Amino acid sequence: MTRVLEHVPLAPRTTLGVGGPARWLVRCAREADVLAAAELAHARGVPLLVLAGGSNLVVADEGVDAVVVSLELRGATFTDEADTARLDAGAGEPWDGVVAAAAQRGAAGIECLSGIPGLAGATPVQNVGAYGQEVSQTIERVRAIDPSTGAVHELHAEACGFGYRDSRFKREPGRLVVTSVRFRLPRRAPEAPSYAELARALGGRAAAPTLLDVREAVKELRRQKSMLAGGADENSRSCGSFFTNPVVDLATLATVESRAADPSLPRHPQPDGRVKLPAAWLIERAGLPRGARDGAVGLSTRHTLALVAHEGATAREVVRFARRVRATVEDRFGVRLVPEPVFWGFGSLDDGLPVG
């Protein structure tokens, strides 16, 4: 019998630590629990929302009139096949533990994703990435339930519609609940790091690092930026990066260049001819340095892209500050930043950010 909880505070279940309760919450350790939760949502006439580790989520102060599925489908199994390892991870398995196990077994391809908070089933949702790796590079297939029909789908990577911090799961929230993810990981040493910052952190080991070397170097870099899963310093109440790096066309790039009047503007050409710009650089050059703050909400003192909710902050204040950051960058450079986290219970959104 699936247990249904009522009026469950969501703030402690998110890394940002703000927001109100869920009207109903169902802890789901089996796919059948997800289906039971979907039936409950249907019977009550409210939406079904999926909660994993709560590290990419902003919940409104009023909470949500919804059935929230808390994903607790555990398990991570490795099967060696020729020169690769097949990894099957339950959606509720803590992601960093999965990465640690892969590195220990000599399975490559996700070691640069060490130290990212959240659960394995959420990684395909925004195609989690860091230091040159994205899960879309190693995901073989995703198992997901359609809560409206109860049908179970096995989606191969091509059917997931992956993009930069994007997928069909993100574009169509609520359509599919991911219950497990299969990765195909080559059993080999890591490639030489493509990120200069990571190469520097590896020091003398950069030419031929082991998977465990890369994992430790990435975790240390994350610790220095207060971007490590389970961190507990003054910047730890965040969703990680609050905005994605904008990918702009050449006309917009020309505008940014002329307004910035700074040849050091970093830019990363994309295969489609557009250019990715670092949101952190734009925010700082627009006049908001690390640690900039409005009351209980501000930018991390160690990472410009992380918005931190200090003691006493409300979700409304987080959104107000995010709107200020976006408006400041837009006024200065003509580029509109897009938020990375998902917003629950806010009503209408304006280019991804709640209105008001």
Ligand X SMILES: Cc1cc2nc3c(=O)[nH]c(=O)nc-3n(C[C@H](O)[C@H](O)[C@H](O)COP(=O)(O)OP(=O)(O)OC[C@H]3O[C@@H](n4cnc5c(N)ncnc54)[C@H](O)[C@@H]3O)c2cc1C
Number of residues that bind ligand X (CB under 6 A): 33
Pick the closest to residue 186 from 131, 123, 120, 133 (CA basis). 133
End-to-end CA distance of the chain: 42
Instruction: Tell me which of 133, 238, 245, 300 binds ligand X, using CB under 6 A.
Output: 238
Catalytic entry in 13, 165, 222, 326: 165
Nearer to ligand X, 49 or 282 (CB): 49
Total Cβ atoms within 10 A of residue 175: 12
Please give the full DSSP string across 29-92, using - where no structure is assigned. Answer: SSHHHHHHHHHHHHHHT--EEEESS-SSEEE-TT-EEEEEEEE----EEEEEETTEEEEEEETT
CB 52 within 8 A of CB 14: no
Nearer to ligand X, 84 or 126 (CB): 126
Active site residue 340: yes
Pick the closest to residue 116 from 15, 208, 222, 11 (CA basis). 222
Q: Does 38 bind ligand X (CB under 6 A)?
A: no
Total Cβ atoms within 10 A of residue 60: 20
Nearer to ligand X, 134 or 213 (CB): 134
Instruction: Tell me which of 36, 122, 248, 277 binds ligand X, using CB under 6 A.
Output: 122
Instruction: Tell me which of 52, 280, 297, 322 binds ligand X, using CB under 6 A.
Output: 52
The residue type of 228 is L
What is d(CA 345, CA 341) in angstroms, rounded to the nearest whole number?
A: 13
Instruction: Tell me which of 121, 193, 209, 354 binds ligand X, using CB under 6 A.
Output: 121
Structure tokens at 113: 């994703």
Minimum Å distance from CB 51 to ligand X? 5
What is d(CA 345, CA 13) in angstroms, rounded to the nearest whole number?
A: 15
Binding-residue pattern over the window 80 to 119 for ligand X, x denoting contact by CB under 6 A: -----------x------------------------xxxx
Minimum Å distance from CB 1 to ligand X? 23
Q: Does 354 bind ligand X (CB under 6 A)?
A: no
Binding-residue pattern over the window 273 to 312 for ligand X, x denoting contact by CB under 6 A: ----------------------------------------
CB 124 within 8 A of CB 167: yes
The residue type of 56 is N
Instruction: Tell me which of 125, 185, 218, 313 binds ligand X, using CB under 6 A.
Output: 125
Nearer to ligand X, 129 or 209 (CB): 129
Q: Does 169 bind ligand X (CB under 6 A)?
A: yes
Q: Write a three-state SS string for 72-89.
A: CCCCEEEEEECCEEEEEE
Q: Which stretch binds ligand X (CB under 6 A): 96-104, 172-180, 187-195, 272-280?
A: 172-180
Nearer to ligand X, 333 or 343 (CB): 343
Q: Which stretch binds ligand X (CB under 6 A): 153-161, 182-190, 233-241, 242-250?
A: 233-241
Active site residue 316: no
**204 Cβ neighbours under 8 A, 6+ residues apart:** none
Catalytic entry in 55, 236, 241, 300: 241
How many CA atoms lie less than 13 Å away from 332 in the CB half-sphere?
18
Q: Does 339 bind ligand X (CB under 6 A)?
A: no
Instruction: Tell me which of 209, 240, 345, 354 binds ligand X, using CB under 6 A.
Output: 240
Pick the closest to residue 226 from 241, 212, 216 (CA basis). 241
Active site residue 165: yes
Residues that bind ligand X (CB under 6 A): 15, 49-57, 71, 91, 116-119, 121-123, 125-126, 128-130, 169, 173, 177-178, 227, 238-240, 342
| Catalytic residue numbers, as ranges | 165, 241, 340
